[in-house]
A and B are shown apart, each in its own frame.
Chain A
Amino acid sequence: MKASIEWLKDFSEINVSGKELGDILTMTGSKLETIEERGKDIENVVVGKILEIEKHPNADKLIVTKVDVGSEILQIVTGADNVSVGDIVPIAKSGSTLPGDVHIKKGELRGVESNGMMCACTELNIPVDRYPNQIEHGIMILPPEMESRLGENIVEVLGLEEEILDFEITSNRPDCFSIEGLGREIAISLNTEFKNPRKNLAEMKVENKTELEGLKVDITAPDLCYRYIARMVKDVKIGESPDWMKRRLEACGVRSINNIVDITNYVMLELGQPMHAFDINSIAGKHITVRRANDGEKITTLDDQERILSQDMLVISDEEKAVAIAGVMGAQNSEIEETTTTVVFESAVFNGGSVRKTAKKVGLRTEASSRYEKGLPQENAERAINRAVELVEIIGAGKAVDGKIDVYPTKQTFNQVEFNPEKINRLLGTNIAREDMVKTLEKLEMKVEGNTVIPPYFRVDIERLADLAEEVVRFYGYDKVDCTLINSEATLGIRTKAQKLTDKIRQTLVNKGLSEICTYGFINEKDLDQLCVTEDSDLRSQVIPVKNPLSEDYSIMRTTTLPSMLQTIVTNQSKKNKNVGLFDISRVYRNVDGQIEQGNVPTEDTMVTIGMYGENVDFYILKGLVEKILSISSVLRYDVVSEKCNNSYHPGKTANIKVGKDVIATLGEIHPEVAENYDIKGDVYCAEIWLDKLVKYGKMNKKYTEVAKFPAVERDIAMVIDEDVEVGNIERAIEKKGKKILEEVKLFDVYRDEKIGAGKKSVAYSLKFRSKDKTLTDEEINSTMEEILKELESLGAELRK
């Protein structure tokens, strides 16, 4: 909310600078956003009178003038064509400064000396429409009576100096969206007098009529319109508003249109109640109905846009057509024209939520709608319309018609709020005396009656004790409230098992040289195609689409983290980063069994995703990392199973880690086709690990096992076996027959060559045997070895001696 100090002074004593005022109000709840100091950037510009005009000897488009600036006569060369002898104009003398840090100096124009410059409105930052008969691209012509002030500073003469403060108003304080409301806050904040100059408005006795000069008003949607007041002015002469009014409007960022429209805006800014004005002649049947719009009903608003309405919107209508979208904007068909002579003012209160939704739907957020949507008090409407009529008479724009039409189906309710100083102090941690609280509340125009407070009509936000506490502490000073630490039962501040594990995994991956990335939960629907995900996959059927996505790239919630990882890899490849290792600890979102359709939240699982490319990566390095994660998660029993059916991964270089039947991780090389779809160069290795499953299967309670007392015996086995037999199977065979005394199986060599033959490989293991309770004999080991060898032969192994 923009407000000029000059206007605010009508309502409150202000004995501090604009900056100080802003700082003080910031601490009582209206935060100063910006401060604009108009006129300060104009120096040494004075009132002058043109005495002579001659043609420039060397230029057709220039003239040479003599100007009286009081103390001297200046020769000024100008290209302006709207000046004549005798005109009073603003003169920027040599050495003057204009807005925008423009400096004017003595100079020569085509060989003729010029000692300054005549100024246009725009050069002085004055809106062209503030003064009558000014033109955009011409010198500002001042009124003739200003001749008496030749040589005087233009800033003072025109009153250009103005301080405009822009405050951030919170949504619970529609009353502060007005000069009056801000003035009240200022008076309390500065501890000066609130002048309450509009006190008279509520006291005006205007007779309520059912018909006003033939005008009737009906509300057919009382759920959306709580009150509608109409008053009329006649013998209206549409014209320009007086300077003071234009200036105040401009300061608040509102453009002057004509005297009647300006009055409606002026009242809105001053009192916070939006107003509207109609030409009586444009209201068919002189009958205003506040009704719901018809579906598909069209209206052309004042901004020359056709809007299509629907049943949930409220319109102001005559007997034929809608003449305004209630609370948002009027229609062109009932606009105030230069020929208007009788004006109907509207001051109404609509349902805030309805106005907000309508404004959003038609895409038109106006000064009026932004006030209405916060919920305005019905009781202010009459004050506002009285003020509008008063202003018409003050500026002589027309004559008031006696009486009003006031349709008021939903009376404003007043809260009775519990007032308990002890409770307030207990909530705040303060020790404020009751009298001081009462003083503050009374300045805020609340009625304190014993243990009850009745807030004034304009404070609809005050509903309960906590609200009173805020009012009290706002003016007591948030800064005066002590800083204490909670004094209550001790609580335990520790991480959960899952949180600890997450940190441990993160730390491990960082220590292994991987960098953590942070990605969005959204992906593009096309990502699933690029990943070659099959049509019947859960990754597709469980997808959660966003109804109003920012773009296609963010159109669904991801069911897999691979796209986010692959995109990041693409980014890094495009930046020519070599040998990159990344990980992401983030979520996937799955709509399982129609959770969303039932209004529930979907399943969210946390994934650890690893992505690597470059020289130092292969499947086994990735597997080593994954196994390290399994190990620190204390997932000790798991199977590594070759995975050929995951279309996103290379069918020959991919494995699932399983606990029983549950897949807890997938790792491998990204399928070359998928890599190509993402424009990835070279091999990329990825792993997806279900963090929640690590927590589930991890045996976090570690147990001591006795350190071996008896010696171990090592034996090596080497064999030639078909390429197709996975070493996992060989190991399982060895473990099966090694029984209790087999302590360790270590693969130490795998090779292939011509001697062994095509389709075969040589595999060598070192086995370690040990018993817990004795030294093993050769016979015991030999018999176990024999069983192992037999088992291996049954797998097709040919043992090498």
Chain B
Amino acid sequence: MGDKIQEMTEAVKRKLGEIKTLQELQDLKVKYLGKKGEVTSMLKGLGGMAPEERPIFGQKVNALREELEKSMERREREVKERILEQRLQKEKIDVTMPGKNIELGSSHPITQVIQEVEEIFLGMGYSIADGPEVETAIYNFDKLNTPADHPARDLQDTFYITEDVILRTQTSPVQARVMENQKPPIKIICPGAVYRSDTLDATHSPVFHQIEGLVVDKNITMSDLKGTLEMFAKNCLGPNTKVRFRPHHFPFTEPSAEADVSCFVCGGKGCRVCKQEGWIELLGCGMVHPKVLENCGIDPNEYSGFAFGFGVERIAMAKFGIDDLRLLYENDVRFLKQF
């Protein structure tokens, strides 16, 4: 009997070594360990044995069964591993082949700049206001302290619809509309298209975009204006950006300033982009003129405010290195997809 067990052990070991597929292994399992398998029948044969032999033989058969189970398990793992390895080997691809193109579109560079600016000011508690592009002269000029014979009305060559209705030359009329309809505190920016009678060339366009900012509250100071714009410039143009405020004149602010930023191409050393000056003119700003506050129904003795405004195209061009404004309005998809 012992011989038989010995024989069987060896036979299984031999067969296991030859096995290549999981199916063969399964068949082997059934052959020996299945319900009608050889080991099982051996155990069944125990009944015909002498009672004293039974436990000894039973033990031996059980030991055999355990050993076979173990070696089959071990073999199963090996076979599985080998099969997996072969599969992985077979499935190998050339990862340097080109990727499949997933077409994405793009938002317009002007939109991208506007959104970036919006994010910065939303984070500072500003909301985004909107107003008509076909505007009345009253909102575009009169309320902003630019009366009928003010020279500024000529400087910005205006498109007229009628005597009283024009295409807005600036986003500032939105300021006036907001001030009339909202009590301070007011903290808004208003991005949008503006119109001036300039022929389209590399640096001019009859339509362009501006972003206007306005804050009105108690105790708003010029140092708040400086701090706010410095925060904006550093976030929009890089943390090393320096801001310089120069006195200037606008009818709707007093004191007024122009803000220059250190050239983002050369960092202020002087280059072609900044015309060797090291500075690039960024925006106009100032403390809201008391007459403007009055015109919009806000008491200048109680409230003060600041306002600023800048051109989006100028920033987009500088930021993306675009040297011709016309590209922004030509909308060639090969240009658009670069952004």
- If the complex has contacts A571-B330, A600-B136, are A171 and B220 also in contact, measured as CB distance less than 8 A? no
Nearest to B137 among chain A residues (CB) is: A599
Once A484-B221, A486-B224 are accepted as A-B contacts, the answer to whether A506 and B107 lie under 8 Å apart by CB is: yes
Chain A residues with Cβ under 8 A from B108's Cβ?
515-518
A336 CB to closest chain B CB (Å) equals 30
Given A464-B290, A521-B133, A427-B222 contact (CB < 8 Å): yes
- Collect the chain A residues with CB atoms within 8 Å of residue B230's CB: 483
Looking at B18-26, B86-94, B250-258, the stretch in contact with chain A turns out to be B250-258
Contact indicator A582/B331 (Cβ below 8 Å): yes
Interface residues of B in 280-339 (CB under 8 A from A): 287, 289-290, 304, 328-334, 336-337
B152 at the interface (CB under 8 A from A): yes
- CB of B58 to closest CB in A, whole Å: 52
A28-59 residues with Cβ-Cβ distance < 8 A to B are 28-29, 31
Q: Which of A427, A491, A499 contacts B304 (CB 8 A)?
A: A427
Query: What is the CB-to-nearest-CB distance from A488 to chain B, in angstroms, rounded to a whole number?
Result: 5
Q: How large is the interface on B (under 10, 10 to 19, 20 to 34, 35 or more residues)?
A: 35 or more
Residues of B within 8 A of A374 (CB): 151
Interface locus among A124-132, A539-547, A727-735: A539-547
Answer yes or no: A360 CB below 8 A from chain B CBs.
yes
**Interface segment, A408-416, A470-478, A696-704, A741-749?**
A470-478
- The residues of B that contact A27 with a CB separation of less than 8 Å are 246-247
Whether A575 and B334, one on each chain, are in contact in the complex, defined by CB atoms closer than 8 angstroms, is: yes
Shortest Cβ distance from residue B124 to the other chain A in the assembled complex, whole angstroms: 6
Cβ-neighbour of B334 out of A170, A488, A506, A577 (below 8 A): A577
**Chain B residues within 8 Å of A430, by CB:** 222-223
Asked whether B70 is an interface residue with its Cβ less than 8 Å from the other chain, the reply is no
B148 at the interface (CB under 8 A from A): yes
Question: In the bound complex, do residue A518 and residue B185 qualify as a contact, i.e. CB atoms below 8 Å apart?
Answer: no
Bound complex: CA A465 to CA B289 (Å): 10
Complex contact A494–B329 (CB within 8 A): no
Residue in A506, A516, A568, A577 with the greatest tally of chain B CB atoms within 10 Å: A516
User: Nearest A residue to B158 by beta-carbon distance?
Assistant: A548
B124 is contacted by which of A28, A493, A522 (Cβ under 8 Å)?
A: A493
Q: Taking the nearest CB of chain B, how far is it from the CB of A563, in angstroms?
A: 13
Given known A-B contacts A31-B246, A470-B254, A517-B331, A491 and B125 have beta carbons under 8 A apart: yes
Chain A residues near B199 (CB-CB < 8 A): 550
Q: Which residues of B contact A623 (CB under 8 A)?
A: none
Q: Known contacts being A493-B123, A521-B133, A547-B160, is A512 close to B245, with CB within 8 Å? A: no
Given A170-B248, A482-B226, A484-B221, verify A599-B136 contact (CB < 8 Å).
yes
B128 touches A (CB below 8 Å): yes
Closest residue of chain A to B304 (Cβ to Cβ) is A427
For B187, give the chain A residue with the smallest CB separation.
A491
Across the interface, B245 reaches (CB within 8 A) one of A464, A479, A514, A600, namely A479
Using a CB-CB cutoff of 8 Å, which residues 241-289 of chain B contact chain A? 244-249, 254-258, 287, 289
A171–B151 CB distance below 8 A: yes
- Chain B residue with the shortest CB-CB distance to A551: B199
The answer to whether A557 touches B246 (Cβ under 8 A) is: no
**Which B residues touch A490, using CB under 8 A?**
125
B321 to chain A, nearest CB (A): 18
Bound-complex Cα distance A427 to B105 (A): 48
The tally of CB-CB contacts under 8 A between chains A and B is: 248
**Interface check B103, CB cutoff 8 A:** yes
Taking CB atoms, residues of chain A closer than 8 Å to B151 are: 171, 352, 356, 373-374
Chain A residues in 8 Å Cβ range of B181: none
Interface residue A481 (Cβ < 8 Å from any Cβ of B): yes
Q: Which residues of chain A (158-195) have a CB below 8 Å from chain B? A: 170-173
Bound CA span A554–B159, Å: 11
Flag whether B55 is at the interface (Cβ < 8 A).
no
One of B110, B121, B254 near A469 (C-beta < 8 A): B254
Contact A544 B134 (CB under 8 A): yes
Cβ-based interface call for B127 (8 A): yes
User: Does B161 lie at the interface of the complex (its beta carbon under 8 Å from any beta carbon of A)?
Assistant: yes
The answer on a CB contact under 8 Å between B133 and A587 is yes
Q: Min CB distance, B156 to chain A, in Å?
A: 12
Pair A173/B249 contact, Cβ less than 8 Å: yes
Instruction: A85 to B108: give the CA distance in the assembly, Å.
Output: 74
Interface of B is mostly: mixed
A516 with B290: CB separation less than 8 A: no
CA distance A582 to B222 in the complex (A): 44
Contact with B160, one of A428, A512, A548, A550 (Cβ below 8 angstroms):
A548
Known interface pairs A491-B127, A506-B107, A518-B111. Does A546 touch B159 (Cβ–Cβ under 8 Å)? Answer: yes
- Contact mask A501-517 → B, CB, 8 Å, 1/0? 00100110111111111
Query: Do A518 and B106 touch across chains, with their CB atoms under 8 A apart?
Result: no
Which A residues, 446 to 482, have Cβ-Cβ distances below 8 Å to chain B?
464-467, 469-470, 473-474, 478-479, 481-482
Q: What distance in Å separates the Cβ of A437 from its nearest Cβ neighbour in chain B?
A: 14
Query: Which residue in chain B gives the minimum CB-CB distance to A516?
Result: B108
Q: Does B224 lie within 8 Å of A429, measured CB to CB?
A: yes
Q: How far is the CA of A138 from the CA of B248 in the complex (A)?
A: 47
A518 and B328 in contact (CB under 8 A), knowing A172-B249, A353-B148, A546-B167?
A: yes
Residue with the highest number of chain A CB atoms closer than 10 Å, among B123, B134, B228, B328: B134
Q: B64 at the A/B interface (Cβ < 8 Å)?
A: no
Looking at the complex, which of B4-12, B32-40, B76-84, B211-219 is the stretch in contact with chain A? B211-219
A510 contacts B149, C-beta separation under 8 Å: no
Indicate if A589 sits at the interface (CB-CB under 8 A): yes
Chain A residue with the shortest CB-CB distance to B155 = A171
Query: B149–A353 contact, CB under 8 A?
Result: yes
Q: Which of B105, B135, B185, B217: most chain A CB closer than 10 A?
A: B105
Known: A493-B124, A518-B110. A482 touches B223 (CB 8 A): yes
- A547 and B161 contacting across the interface, CB-CB below 8 Å: yes
Q: Could you say which residues of chain B place their CB within 8 Å of the CB of A464?
A: 290
Additional 11 contacts, C-beta under 8 A, given A171-B152, A490-B125, A521-B193:
A31-B246, A467-B254, A484-B223, A485-B228, A493-B121, A496-B128, A516-B106, A518-B110, A519-B329, A522-B206, A548-B197
Q: What are 7 of the A-B contact pairs (CB < 8 Å)?
A: A171-B152, A357-B149, A429-B221, A506-B107, A518-B111, A522-B207, A575-B334
Question: Interface of B with A (CB < 8 Å)?
Answer: 103-108, 110-111, 115, 118, 121-128, 132-136, 148-152, 154-155, 159-162, 164-165, 167, 185, 187, 193, 195, 197, 199, 206-207, 215, 217-224, 226-228, 230-231, 244-249, 254-258, 287, 289-290, 304, 328-334, 336-337
Residue numbers of A with Cβ under 8 A of B are 26-29, 31, 170-173, 352-354, 356-357, 360, 373-374, 426-430, 464-467, 469-470, 473-474, 478-479, 481-496, 499, 503, 506-507, 509-522, 544-550, 554, 557, 568, 571-572, 575, 577, 580-583, 587, 589, 596-597, 599-602, 604
The 4 A-B residue pairs whose C-beta atoms are closest, nearest first, are A353-B149, A429-B223, A429-B221, A170-B249
